Structure 1
């Protein structure tokens, strides 16, 4: 098989990380593995292995025929057999399929909040899905949604998987005190619900003022991120909550923290959670998407409803007050990841599915 991953950007988001991870892992297992960034490059460019072929299209607008035919030339030159389109890149994949019907096109749905997509986008997706050879869903709820909304038959659930960084320089130095840091790896987007984190930070400042929150993720410099910055100032949290933007050195960052959190109100299967487990971090997370399939309450972490800041705070305090519990939960979450969420196990299922699709 000769497969390329299609992704809109190489910013440090979950879908983007998975596109790079698939390309890198597949490079050692199939004839040809490539990755195509359609609109933007980004921090993850440096994470693409040398044996992965790379193309940047610099696509402008929803329909860019120049970009489409550059992609088609790349596909023909490299004798590509399979297109693996991630998230919103499905539309370019669909247009490519119209010009090259023998290509097999697969869509990877990472969007945990698919139910809230505008009707127009669902209609476009539904029509494009007529040309998909198969769909990958990152959780069981999305698998059901795809079958119901897109009337797709060949749908498989494949979990995300974490992969350790390659040759990333440790440059990020977190503020705050050692053994008293809490991290959130999440881009500054509404579905990540950083306002819940700020509610908890306000309470924690009163009871455990030495503990600090460290928010790592892309700042889109929109109203959402501006509101976060405004609330940090309004509630005098400048010495308790720190923003770092997108960073590459995730392993280095996680090695500086004791606890990791996710406050999302919707998710697919967050790569951040898998990375927390890979580096044995104790977690407090919200009960959304596929997270409850990974985190078992009081066994390998704490999981609470996304609208319960008091319970989130109480769970966090339980970890803050017990380094033993931090270690116990971190090791248990690591074991969970190693059993069901490794690259080897996922890619094996993926390749078998492609062969029969």
Structure 2
């Protein structure tokens, strides 16, 4: 079975990590040949694939409607059995190949939807509907995405494949850090203004490190301005050049995740793996899985008082913290097995090939 994973580029982000993890797991299967196609150029996470001997192809398209690039894309896709497309904007581009002659088309497309703002934005335009309905399968990373697909009468088989991370094979790195870690690129849905407001109401000895790239530059600058307005420059450190936070998590007391809408934040799975207690807003598939075991990690509102109480309890109460860690171990064991994830993925592929 020849499988091609497709994304725009491997910059640091959740969908990118999922695509990499999936490729690495698949590459360990003898009957599968897996390659990776980036529509743009080389990026920060390419090394993760290279060190696992996974071939990376680069389309290097100059723009979305460059005809020669679309033709070259079609030729590349035709070398594989399954084309696994990650993210909506990538599917919209790959689907341009539908407008080319299809006499010699051999590949089948599966669409992997990572859209994290579905609770606030459930629109579906005609072109995206066309793109999805011309796939052989739709994979959602959350039940909310599957519900969205059903409600919009998507006419292809629907599958749930919740996010996981691979077992950590990298040694921990000891560095000097602040008390709390927050991870996420700067986008409005990350809700960093609430984080800054929350920090203003916590004891002054509690400081935060934010790891994220300024994807939305206007929002990034807005948060920088807010930090200075609240006189918190000495309590907030922003780090924009780290590709992998996993080896650094051991340096923190706890983590926070304030995003208003997330389908399945990978970083919270990383916290679970590393047994780093955290508090997150109750949204998305990871929150549902957590809630089946415990409520200690979740808050269903943006009431600052609730967040303050939970944060201080985790930091100050050793017995409570141990209870949280025990619950985290159970959650990770129940939901984030590599074997279960790989088995689900392979069954989706087998279904596509037989259809």
After TM superposition, the score normalised by the length of structure 2 is 0.90
In 2: Cα distance, 1:116 partner to 1:152 partner: 23
Q: 1:183 to 1:28 in 2, by over 3 A?
A: same
Q: 1:58 to 1:116 in 2, by over 3 A?
A: farther
Give the CA deviation at 1:98.
Answer: 5.0
1:192 corresponds to: 190
In 2: Cα distance, 1:52 partner to 1:304 partner: 40
Give the CA deviation at 1:255.
Answer: 1.3
Query: Structure 1, residues 284-329: CA drift from partner, whole Å, max 9, x if none?
Result: 0001111332323993732112432221222111112123333331
Q: Is the 8 A contact 2:118 2:144 kept in 1?
A: no
1:137 aligned to 2:135?
Answer: no
2:61 corresponds to: 59
3-state SS of 2:205 partner: coil
Q: 1:93 to 1:234 in 2, by over 3 A?
A: same
Q: Is the 8 A contact 2:170 2:247 kept in 1?
A: no
1:110 aligned to 2:114?
Answer: yes
Give the CA deviation at 1:231.
Answer: 0.8
In 2: Cα distance, 1:23 partner to 1:133 partner: 19
In 2: Cα distance, 1:334 partner to 1:71 partner: 43
Match of 1:50 among 52, 59, 62: 52
- Trace 1:82-121 onto structure 2 (pairs within 5 A): 82-87=82-87, 88-99=89-100, 100=102, 101-114=105-118, 116-117=120-121
In 1: Cα distance, 2:207 partner to 2:237 partner: 8
3-state SS of 1:267 partner: coil
Query: Structure 1, residues 187-221: CA drift from partner, whole Å, max 9, x if none?
Result: 111111111111111011xxx22221111111126
1:162 aligned to 2:165?
Answer: yes
Give the CA deviation at 1:173.
Answer: 4.1
1:288 aligned to 2:283?
Answer: yes
1:352 aligned to 2:341?
Answer: no
Say what the alpha-carbon RMSD is for the aligned residues: 2.3
Q: 1:174 to 1:146 in 2, by over 3 A?
A: farther
**How many equivalent pairs are there?**
346
3-state SS of 1:11 partner: coil
Q: 1:103 to 1:4 in 2, by over 3 A?
A: same
1:256 corresponds to: 251
Q: 1:110 to 1:221 in 2, by over 3 A?
A: closer
1:148 aligned to 2:143?
Answer: no
Task: Structure 1 unaligned segments of length 5 or more: list them.
Answer: none
- Trace 1:322-337 onto structure 2 (pairs within 5 A): 322-337=317-332
Q: 1:307 to 1:247 in 2, by over 3 A?
A: same
3-state SS of 2:255 partner: strand
Q: 1:225 to 1:174 in 2, by over 3 A?
A: farther
1:41 corresponds to: 42
Q: 1:234 to 1:67 in 2, by over 3 A?
A: same
After TM superposition, the score normalised by the length of structure 1 is 0.89
Give the CA deviation at 1:14.
Answer: 0.4
Q: 1:296 to 1:151 in 2, by over 3 A?
A: closer
2:227 corresponds to: 232
Q: Which moved more, 1:90-99 or 1:260-269?
A: 90-99
Q: 1:188 to 1:167 in 2, by over 3 A?
A: same
Give the CA deviation at 1:159.
Answer: 0.6
Q: Is the 8 A contact 2:177 2:252 kept in 1?
A: no
In 1: Cα distance, 2:215 partner to 2:55 partner: 29
Give the CA deviation at 1:280.
Answer: 0.6
Q: Is the 8 A contact 1:281 1:326 kept in 2?
A: no
